[in-house]
Structure 1
Amino acid sequence: MAEAKPAGQAWSDPDAGWSLPAWTYSDPEFFDAEVARVIRPSWQIVCHESDVPATGDFHTLDYVGESVVVVRTRDGGINGFTNVCRHRGARLLDGPSGCAKKIVCPYHAWTYDLDGRLTGLPMRETYALDPSKHGLAPVEVEIWRGFIFVRLEGGGPSVAEMMAPYEAEVAPYRFEELSAFGRVTLRPRPVNWKNVGDNYSDGLHIAVAHPGLKRLMGKGYGVEASEYVDKMWGPIVERPSADLSERAYQHFLPPVPHLPPERQRLWTYFKLWPNIAFDIYPDQIDFMQWLPVSPTETLIREIAYCLPDGRREMKAARYLNWRINRQVNAEDTTLIARVQQGMASQSFTVGPLSEQEVALRNFCRKIRHILPESRQHRAPLPGWSRRPHGVFLND
């Protein structure tokens, strides 16, 4: 493993060498507090600008009890709103994507323009309201290198600020020019959302539990952590793999003209606080997010993007990439289930973290800072989040 860089030390964590306690991975009250203090104020990825190319094109994202829609406006911009009519709270737009020149509520036909303004109100004279004050509820939108993010509540850094330490590494991949390669997949998992993220940033299990990645990367897998982003990486070795799909990927992966030499055969992963990841390959780019559903349920949402490339070798490499990572995903699914099951034991509270587990240390530090009750190794009495000593702290 390459040398790991320590995360920022804005707050001194007395439990820096320990994981979060097991009870925080199943406790309903802690889950509600996380949704309020971690997920709602965080950025969530919706889609890429290429997914909404024309006026009225929209994508929706449902998470933590909210439905959010992003839509291409008449002036070419992107707006984001909660997908909720201001009359009776009905859901406005159905499905993950579509096109609507106007947004019309299917319940009472309240009509909104693409900028969120209320423009149509049947029986207007019977309502004592100012239409200008009853437009769709906006959500914060940020476009970072072509990807569209939304945030239900503000206060933290932008996506650009979080990714600033790695902009030079990302720039050659021409994110802004990507288009979808495949479709969005949704994979429910019976585990707490943190278990998915912990596993993603865990570099120590690669050599043990992912024999395919070990064959492809040898001993070159590395991990580092900045304040809001974990970075993992591994170069594809020259020695042919014993596995047919892996060996074929090594063989067929063609040179990529827009990438510098050191990135021609490098796999890089970025995890953005708290639950989004980009898998960056020479042949394609994937995004992945793990959306909390309940204390012990998570929905993994992901899709691949790529640049136009009609070469047969590139088509083969992209297919083989999918085959390789399908096996990695299956291995990870088993691993996170084992952890979730094991955490139910009363014998387990917290686990020691290696000095090399910098990404996990950084994540645990931030959670302990935002949710101080997570410093307790055993679950506090119910109602802790409503008591004075359960006050939350913010970064």
Structure 2
Amino acid sequence: MSGLEQSLPAWIYSDPGFFERERQTVFRTGWQVVCHVNDVPNAGDYQTLDLLGERVIALRGDDGTVRCFHNACRHRAARLVDGSEGNCGHRLVCPYHAWSYGLDGSLKNVPRWQGFEDLDLAAHGLKPVEQEIWRGFVFVRFAPGLPSVAEMMAPYEAEIEPHGFEDLQPQGRVTLRPRPVNWKNVADNYADGLHIPVAHPGLTRLFGPTYAMEAGTWTDRLWGDITEAPSSNWVERNYQALLDSFDHLPPEGRRRWLYYRLWPNLAFDVYPDQVDFMQFIPVSPTETLIREIAYVRPDARREVKAARYLNWRINRQVNAEDTVLIQRVQDGMASSGYVSGPLGPSEVCLAAFARRLKAQIPEAALDHAPKEAA
């Protein structure tokens, strides 16, 4: 009998009952990134995150502190702010009944004519969400469970340090890319190394044989070193020629692309020229929103701007290739001829992801969905 580990079973990539188990366990206890503190530089600036019925607002206070609250009025639960970002001035005012809140979340005023003279204002401030700010990135979670983000990323602090995460500035806005696939297929593809030489010719030209990965307890690390041999593709070749411009990094870091996948649904792409996060937001058993944005160091040099543009060109092609691949897998999961498959010795991140999910939801080890009790 083969000693290889097996991939997760196909049924959990479309089953509504399993998706609900994930919502209640994996996603209530998992850390979710909302934004970077530099996305909300001024008092009243806010960023929002919607996830499986939870709505969060990250808000910069008058005192300069960034706080996270549920985006719901304490009166009748009306959503307080719309859109992904904005500025509310010095008060958050509910558009339903005009209850108003300070930027620290405290309830400041209820219109007198509504008859709430005896209401304890201090007891009806906005509900805070547990948060952690790690190297400038604002995270939230809805129930305790996982270690802190700092603990999850601790093994990689030394190589992250030179990139100066705390000083990063947003490059544009958050984009949302809908995909008709289960979130786990997006996460699996991100940490699948075997498809790189098969389906990503551009990355293969750039990395050569250097692409590798390792699985941590809660975070997987992947990396590839950009070769010095000029690529036959002009975009890649020009990008290669600009990498020595990033002299804030040690020489070995100027040519290294780093990827970190944090359990359950977040990835950081750390390039010499920029840092992206990619969040796999589950919408339904077969729908996912890929939420992403790039951040950069303040640097107005032409060669730096050129490198960022070329990076975008390279990764736009990679994303297009991955979109097709992930859809192929999601389609194949519906086949009665597939249950699960063997994982090769190098597929350590896929195996680690499967073990984490099985630890939180034991049914993930079953080949088929359990029959409902009569």
- Structure 1 length normalisation: TM-score? 0.91
Aligned to 2:74: 86
Letter in 2 for 1:79: R
SS class of match (2:150): helix
How many Å apart are 1:253 and its aligned residue? Answer: 2.9
Q: Is the 8 A contact 1:235 1:265 kept in 2?
A: yes
Offset from partner CA, 1:273-328 (integer Å, 9 cap, x none) = 11111101111111110100000000001111111222221111111100000000
Offset from partner CA, 1:240-299 (integer Å, 9 cap, x none) = 111121111112333322111110111110111111111011111111101000000000
Offset from partner CA, 1:48-86 (integer Å, 9 cap, x none) = 111111111111111111210010112211111110011
How many Å apart are 1:374 and its aligned residue? Answer: 1.2
1:267 aligns with 2:262: no
Counterpart CA distance in 2 for 1:383 and 1:148 is 42
Counterpart CA distance in 2 for 1:117 and 1:382 is 46
1:103 aligns with 2:67: no
1:22 aligns with 2:13: no
Aligned ranges 1:23-38 → 2 under 5 Å: 23-38=11-26
Offset from partner CA, 1:117-156 (integer Å, 9 cap, x none) = 1111123644664222211111011111111111122232
Count of residue correspondences: 370
Counterpart CA distance in 1 for 2:246 and 2:361 is 45
Could you say what the CA RMSD is over the residues aligned between the two structures, in angstroms? 1.5
Identical amino acids, percent of aligned pairs = 60
Counterpart CA distance in 2 for 1:183 and 1:117 is 29
Cα 1:201–1:125 shift into 2, 3 Å: same
1:183 aligns with 2:166: no
How many Å apart are 1:221 and its aligned residue? Answer: 0.1
Counterpart CA distance in 2 for 1:105 and 1:305 is 32
Offset from partner CA, 1:223-247 (integer Å, 9 cap, x none) = 0011010100000001111112111
Aligned to 2:111: 122
How many Å apart are 1:383 and its aligned residue? Answer: 6.2
Aligned to 1:310: 300
Q: Is the 8 A contact 1:23 1:343 kept in 2?
A: yes
1:370 aligns with 2:367: no
Within the candidate set 203, 211, 221, 2:201 is matched to: 211
Letter in 1 for 2:365: R
Cα 1:16–1:164 shift into 2, 3 Å: farther
Letter in 2 for 1:122: P
Letter in 2 for 1:33: R
Cα 1:96–1:383 shift into 2, 3 Å: farther
Counterpart CA distance in 2 for 1:114 and 1:16 is 54
Q: Is the 8 A contact 1:285 1:304 kept in 2?
A: yes
Q: Is the 8 A contact 2:46 2:86 kept in 1?
A: yes
Within the candidate set 30, 36, 51, 1:63 is matched to: 51
- Structure 2 length normalisation: TM-score? 0.96
Offset from partner CA, 1:150-188 (integer Å, 9 cap, x none) = 112223211101000000010000011110112211100
Gaps of 5+ in 2: none
Counterpart CA distance in 1 for 2:283 and 2:31 is 17
Counterpart CA distance in 1 for 2:310 and 2:202 is 12
